[in-house]
Amino acid sequence: MLVNQRLTAGKRGSVGCKSKAQPSIQIATSPNRLPTSKDKIKLVALDLDGTLLDKHSRIPKGSVRVIKEAIRRGVRVVAATGKARPAVMKVAALHDLGGEGELSWANGPGIYMHGLLVLGPSGQALAEHALSDDVVRSAFSFSAAEGVPLVAFLGDINGVLIDSSENHELHERYHEPLGQLFPSIDALLAAGTVRKMIFMTDSIRISNFVMPYWMKALSCHPFAQTTQAVNTMCEIVPRGVNKWTGAQVLLNSLGLRREELMACGDGLNDLEIVQNAGVGVAMGNAVTVLKSQANVVVAGHNDGGIVEAFEKFVLV
- Number of domains, the chain: 2
| Helix (H/G/I), strand (E/B), else coil: 245 | helix
Q: Would you say residue 191 lies in a domain?
A: yes
Residues 145, 267, single domain; the answer is no
* 280: CATH: 3.40.50.1000
200/116 same-domain check: no
Beta strands in 102-230 (DSSP E): 110-112, 117-119, 125-130, 150-154, 157-160, 180-181, 196-200, 224-227
Which residues constitute the domain of residue 154? 130-238
In a domain, 29, yes or no: no
Q: In the chain, what percentage of residues exceed pLDDT 70? A: 88
152 with 293, same domain: the answer is no
pLDDT digits (tens, 9 = 90+) for 172-183: 999 999 999 999
pTM of the complete model? 0.81
Contact 212, 206 (CB under 8 A): no
Residues 161 and 215 in one domain: yes
Query: Pick from 211, 238, 265: which residue ends a domain?
Result: 238
Q: Is residue 229 part of a domain?
A: yes
120 and 248 part of one domain: yes
How high is the mean pLDDT of the chain? 89
Residue 24 lies in a domain: no
35 falls within a domain: no
Pairing of strands 125-130, 279-282: unpaired
Q: In what order do the strands lie in the sheet with 125-130?
A: 2-4, 125-130, 117-119, 110-112
The last residue of one of the domains, among 172, 203, 238, is: 238
Please check whether residue 180 lies inside any domain of the structure.
yes
pLDDT tens by residue, the chain, 316 residues: 333 333 333 333 446 554 443 333 333 433 555 655 557 999 999 999 999 999 999 999 999 999 999 999 999 999 999 999 999 999 999 999 999 999 999 999 999 999 999 999 999 999 999 999 999 999 999 999 999 999 999 988 999 999 999 999 999 999 999 999 999 999 999 999 999 999 999 999 999 999 999 999 999 888 899 999 889 999 999 999 999 999 999 999 999 999 999 999 999 999 999 999 999 999 999 999 999 999 999 999 999 999 999 999 999 9
Verify that 305 and 180 share a domain, yes or no. Answer: no
Q: Which of 189, 207, 238 is the last residue of a domain?
A: 238
Please answer whether residues 296 and 314 qualify as being in contact, where contact means their C-beta atoms are separated by less than 8 angstroms: no
Whether 148 and 229 share a structural domain:
yes
Asked if the structure places residue 261 within a domain, the reply is: yes
Examine residue 276 and state whether it is found in any structural domain, yes or no.
yes
What pLDDT does residue 96 have? 97
Residues 138 and 164 in one domain: yes
Measure Cα distances from 313 to 7, 19, 37, 264 in Å.
Answer: 43, 43, 11, 12
Same domain, 113 and 79: yes
Whether residue 119 is found in the same domain as residue 147: no
Tell me how far apart the alpha carbons of residues 243 and 315 are, in angstroms, rounded to a whole number: 24
Is 59 in the same domain as 135? Answer: no
- On whether both 167 and 111 belong to a single domain, the answer is no
